[in-house]
Amino acid sequence: MDWVFLSELAINGALTGLLYSLFAIGLVLIYKASSVPNLAQGGLTMVGAYVVLALARDVGLPLWLAIPLAAVVMFGLGFGIERVALRRLAGRPVVMILMLTLGLDIFLRGTTLAIWGGTSRSMELGVSYDPLFLGDIFISRIHLVGAGVALALFVGFMLFFQTRTGIKLRAIADDYMASWSVGISVERGVGLSWALASVVAVAAGVIWGEIQGVDQALSLLLLKGLTVAVLGGLDSILGAVIAGIILGVVENVGADFLDPLVGGGSRELIVAAVLILTVMIRPHGLFGRHDIERV
């Protein structure tokens, strides 16, 4: 057994996993407020990346300005989605809202295709691709940057949920009716959670866009992001971070063992197995809250 190689796989797996977490945090934010997995999070991530590119390339702004500006635009878009589409669905069965998010994802993909076409564009963040060695272990710089962004967002949101606005959002997640009864604006809370998830989508879009190029395939991140969110418990940000690391490591190390046996392609199988087994064995995930039953 080559321990150096194994730890390299594990560490890079963990870093990639944190990039999944970066995506999954957006899912968790919306799930917390609306109890719906947002199937359009992939679409939002893709749009986030396109908006950054539009501002940087088409308008010609420097990236350090284009990214925050895109975050502002997406923040507005998130609020808009709640205002235009979701508010009408308040009180309807959850499956309707789920279908709405699916429709939204298709719509966003179609829109970007119509405006920017289907050719992959590069983000050109300017992160060096020179190998970074930690002892004998090779680490990708962009993955390291992305993992840092994911952890920073994690800490940021943990702090945010202790503020008064954050507490109100958690209250909304607990009980709509009780929230209305004390004058909390549930509609605005849900809007805010969509807005924040859209900002997270910009971060995920920039990092993933740098790694795999900006095109409609970015929206397919949803599958891995959803797996991470489900494993973490859908409504736990800490869960999303830890589940991301777990999935990344299992996927990277597992694929290295399995690929020679099955002749490649085992990555997807591992992700699928994790998703299916989580739902079967532990539906509320690692850190999801169960409904409290007092005895």
Per CB under 8 A, residues contacting other proteins are: 91, 164, 167-168, 170-171, 173-185, 289, 291-292, 294
- Considering the complex, state which of residue 57 and residue 87 has its C-beta at the smaller distance from other proteins: 87
CB of 151 to other proteins, least distance (A): 24
- Considering the complex, state which of residue 65 and residue 167 has its C-beta at the smaller distance from other proteins: 167
CB of 140 to other proteins, least distance (A): 38
- Considering the complex, state which of residue 122 and residue 163 has its C-beta at the smaller distance from other proteins: 163
User: Are 54 and 112 spatial neighbours (Cβ–Cβ below 8 Å)?
Assistant: no
Minimal CA–CA distance to 51: which of 38, 64, 62, 67? 67
User: Are 69 and 61 spatial neighbours (Cβ–Cβ below 8 Å)?
Assistant: yes
- Considering the complex, state which of residue 122 and residue 185 has its C-beta at the smaller distance from other proteins: 185
Q: What angle do CA 123, 143, 269 make, to 5 degrees?
A: 100
Dihedral angle over CA of 191, 195, 196, 199, nearest 10: 170
CB of 187 to other proteins, least distance (A): 9
CB of 38 to other proteins, least distance (A): 20
Minimal CA–CA distance to 8: which of 129, 130, 135, 127? 135
Beta bridge partners of 214: 121
CB of 139 to other proteins, least distance (A): 38
Task: Kindly give the interhelix angle for 266-281 and 221-232, rounded to the nearest 10 degrees.
Answer: 30
- Considering the complex, state which of residue 189 and residue 254 has its C-beta at the smaller distance from other proteins: 189
